[in-house]
Amino acid sequence: MKNRILLFVLVGLMTTFTFAQSKDEAAIDANVKKLYEAMVSQNKSVLENLTSEKLTYGHSSGTIEDKSEYVEAVLTGSFDFFSITPEEQKITVSGDTGIARHIFVANGTNNGEKADVRIGVMMTWQKKSGKWLLLARQAYKL
């Protein structure tokens, strides 16, 4: 009986450690959520603070934007987000580079018409002066 209890405890601990995020992975996860919240609320300062000056932002349509174009499109573009959810997210970190892959699920309007979006996204985050910044984002059709 004691062996079974010990086995369950060990399996539970192993599972916890296997699925636990590192500090950097947790920071990137939090930044992905903050970025999407800023896109919904159209918060310019948060968008600017979370993105690199060298940002390259790729849409599933093939459009590529730099930082200023991306921020301007979120603030004044034809798409108005009501919600954005990253689903099935996987984050990996190597040194000062982090990759976040997920399914981008969003609801909103495009030119006033209801629009639902479900696309794949890969983000590259770069740690600069202790802060994770979005360096690149590429969306693709599923």
Domain that holds residue 89: 22-141
Q: What is the pTM of this model?
A: 0.85
Number of domains in the chain: 1
Domain presence at residue 105: yes
Map tokens 């405890």 to a residue. 9
Domain presence at residue 11: no
CATH number at 80 reads: 3.10.450.50
Task: From first to last of the 142 residues of the chain, give the pLDDT tens digit.
Answer: 555 544 444 445 444 444 578 999 999 999 999 999 999 999 999 999 999 999 999 999 999 999 999 999 999 999 999 999 999 999 999 999 999 999 999 999 999 999 999 999 999 999 999 999 999 999 999 9
